């Protein structure tokens, strides 16, 4: 049997945990990228320096595509019609190229950090 004191302790712990999880939490910058016909749209993604961000990638096909970047090291394979995401760390100012593994000659892009 759970006592009233135990219920109070559990409720307090949950309340504190929820408060610490939401208080001061910043929303992650989210950008969209589409792979279609062996190309990425848009080809250039701009993000502010020192900010973590997420790229939601949708592959409109035809066929599979792989988002790949060497710096920072990120990759994601998507079948036609699939959507997924990648989270990137806060980056220093610069240009970070990415490409599509299945169409390396045409599926090219860059992340510009300012």
CB 40 within 8 Å of CB 105: no
pLDDT band, very low/low/confident/very high, at 24 (cuts 50, 70, 90): very low
| Phi/psi of residue 9, nearest 5 degrees | -65, -45
> From start to end of 1-114, where are the E strands?
29-36, 39-41, 44-47, 53-61, 65-70, 73-78, 83-88, 94-100, 108-113
Question: What average pLDDT does the chain have?
Answer: 86
State pLDDT tens for residues 54-96.
999 999 999 999 999 999 999 999 999 999 999 999 999 999 9
pLDDT for residue 27: 87
Domain 27-113, second-level architecture: Sandwich (2.60)
Break the chain into its structural domains and give their ranges: 27-113
What's the predicted TM-score (pTM) here? Answer: 0.75
């Amino acid at each position: 049997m759970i006592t009233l004191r135990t219920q109070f302790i559990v409720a307090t712990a949950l309340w504190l945990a929820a408060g610490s999880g939401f208080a001061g939490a910043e929303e992650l910058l989210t950008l969209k990228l589409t792979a279609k016909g062996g190309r990425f749209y848009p080809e250039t993604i701009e993000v502010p320096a020192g900010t973590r961000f997420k790229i939601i990638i949708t592959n409109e096909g035809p066929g599979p595509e792989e988002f790949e970047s060497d710096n920072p090291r990120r990759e994601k394979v998507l079948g036609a019609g699939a959507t997924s995401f990648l989270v990137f760390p806060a980056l220093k100012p610069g240009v970070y190229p990415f490409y599509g593994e299945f169409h390396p000659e045409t599926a090219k892009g860059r992340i510009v950090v300012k």
